[in-house]
Every structure is written in C-alpha cells, then in structure tokens.
Amino acid sequence: MAQQHETTLSAQRGREGSPWTGLWAVVAKEMADHLTSVRMQILELLILITAGGTVFGALQSIRSARGDNFLFLKLFTTSTDPLPAFVGFLGFLIPLIAISLAFDAVNSEFNQRTLSRVLAQPIYRDAFLMGKFLAGLFTMALVLVAIWLLITGLGIFSLGIAPSGEEVARGLLFLLVAIFYGGIWLALALLFSTIFRQPATAALASIAVWLFFMVFWSMLASMLAQALAPIRLGLIDEVLAQAELIQNLTRISPNTVFVEATMGLLNPTTRSFGLVLPSQLQGALLGSPLPLGESVLLIWPHLTSLIAVTILLFTVAYVLFQRQEIRA
C-alpha cells in the first residue's frame, strides 16, 4: 500500500506544470521528419509539376487580356484544355498531402514501441497529439505558401506587372481556406491513426472517406433530395425547394465547401452560390467585382465550417487518444 501510495504521489507530481510541456519539441521533430521524408518529396514534386503546367497554360491564355482586372487571380482559376485550373488540382492534391502526413502519426509509434518512451519524458499526451497535428498543419501550410509565392513570382516575371493589394489579400485568404481544407483531412487521418493500429488500414480508411465525398456524395445528395423533396406538381416552389436541398446536402462535402469558397475569393464577380432569382438581381451591376469585404462575408460560413470541422475531428481524436492504454 505504501508503495502504491508513493507511486500515485509521484504520478501526481509528474503531472504538475503545463500539459503542453514539450509541444514545440514534438512539432520541430515531426516537421523535420515530414520535410525530409521521401513521400513528402514525391508529393512536392507532383505539385510543382502540376503548378508549372497549369500556370504555363494560364499564362498563354491571359497574356491577351492585360487590361482586365485581377489578372493575377486568373493564374489560379484559368484552365486550358486538357489541363484544369490550378485550384482544381489543389482540391485533389491537398487531401492526399494531408492524409500522407498523418495516417501513421500515432499508430507507427505504437508499432515501433516508442510511444511509452516519448511519454516517459516530460511530454504529456496533450502535447504529443497536438504537436503531431500542428507539425502536419505547419508543413502543409509551408508547402502551400511556397507554391503560392512561386506562382506569383512566375506571374510577375512573365506578365511584367505586380499584383494589386486586393489581389494579394484575396490570395492570402485563399491560402487560409486551403490550409483549413487540408486541416480537415489531416485531422481525419490523425483520428484513424488513433483508432487503427495498422497504418495501411488508417490510410485506406482516410482515402475511402475522401473518395466518398469527392466522387459519390454529389450523386447520393441528388438522390436523397429527390426522395425527401420530390417534385410532384412541377411548381416553381417545389423545384426551388429541391434545388436548395441538393445544395445544402452537397455542402456536407468539404470539397464542395472548398470549391465555393475558392470561387468567392478568386473570382470577385461571384455574388452568390446556387440558384439566384431575377428579383434578387435587381439593382445589381452584373459583371462588376465585389469589394473584398463583401467577398469575405460571402465565404465566411464556408471558412468557419472548415475550421469547425477540423477542430471537431481533432477533438474526437484527442479524446480517444487520452483513453487508450499505453504499455511499454
């Protein structure tokens, strides 16, 4: 009993202090591992190739439109056959980057039997899991910022003009949306890495969820809307109700939220998403760009939902990780 009491007191003394002790040590170590890993180098090379190809095609298309406004934003949104716009590639590549950074973040420590050694140091579970997540988020942000700067530099060099202040602000907000879009898939992969002991299972589960929302959810949302809000008499109210339901259901997919937020920021003429009635367009100057503040208000629900889902998924992973038994 005395020995047990002494062990309890030592555990309580060991828990004293901030639960985030060692957080930045974990972040620095994980970021170093990410940036020097072969998988990350392959993904970076893939992004550079796609960025170079799409931006080169966009430059060929917009050189004849030098007098247009927001010329630099078109570097991200202009597509040329057979290549889509660069933001289209990002919607596909960002989840892959995020999943590759986190699918083995926790289970690899269990399999290598290093987790008990790490937690035996003055590093608590709180700092360990948060450090893993922040390292992945910072690494992804670093890659996206580097690509954004590269595209901006290519645009300045090729077009011979500098981006305006509003274009820079819109580009930075787009980076923020892209980072938290990746944060959802990063937190999801971290969650599966906490649940499953095999990294391959965690990776397959993460990719399966991504493919479900990327490919199948839009079709399923349309079928659900037809069942829940059928068009029986062909009235305009029934058509509008079904279309609104389809739009709301498709927004459950992070990819749809990312695409709409990107459209609202990088295409300043975007005034709304979905169906717009003629009565709603009265007094609007069609084709004129919205001010930056109004574009931010337009995509604000999208940005907050991306941040909220990222926090929710990480919280679930955090709770499950706190309840797991860790043996030496």
Supply the pLDDT for residue 4: 41
- Nearest Cα to 99, choosing from 204, 195, 12, 253? 204
pTM over 0.95: no
CB count in 10 Å sphere of residue 186: 34
> ∠235-240-241 over CA atoms, to 5°?
95
Supply the pLDDT for residue 307: 94
Supply the pLDDT for residue 63: 64
- Which position has the token pair 């690509």? 147
DSSP characters over 229-261: S--SS--HHHHHHHHHHHHHHHTTSHHHHHHHH
44/265 Cα distance (integer angstroms)? 25
Label each residue of 128-177 as H, E or C: HHHHHHHHHHHHHHHHHHHHHHHHHHHHHHHHCCCCCHHHHHHHHHHHHH
163/160 Cα distance (integer angstroms)? 10
218/250 Cα distance (integer angstroms)? 6
262/273 Cα distance (integer angstroms)? 12
- Which position has the token pair 């919280």? 315
- Nearest Cα to 174, choosing from 196, 218, 208, 144? 144
Residue 49 DSSP SS3 = helix
40/297 Cα distance (integer angstroms)? 35
Widest distance between CA atoms in the chain: 84
Identity of the amino acid at 49: I
Residue 317 DSSP SS3 = helix
For residue 235, report the phi and psi dihedrals to the nearest 5 degrees: -75, 155
For residue 312, report the phi and psi dihedrals to the nearest 5 degrees: -65, -50
CB count in 10 Å sphere of residue 86: 26
Length of the chain: 328
pLDDT string in tens for the chain (328-residue length): 444 444 343 444 445 557 777 788 888 888 888 888 888 888 888 888 877 777 777 777 776 655 567 777 888 887 777 777 788 888 888 999 999 999 988 888 877 777 767 776 777 888 888 999 999 999 999 989 988 888 888 888 877 778 888 889 998 999 999 999 999 999 999 999 999 989 999 999 999 999 999 989 989 988 998 888 887 777 787 778 888 888 889 989 999 999 999 988 988 888 777 655 444 444 444 557 888 889 899 999 999 999 999 999 999 999 998 887 766 5
Supply the pLDDT for residue 316: 95
The pair of structure tokens assigned to 145 is: 């910022």
Supply the pLDDT for residue 206: 94
* Residue partners of 62: CB distance under 8 A and separation at least 6: 68, 71, 74, 75, 78, 159
Contact 177, 258 (CB under 8 A): yes
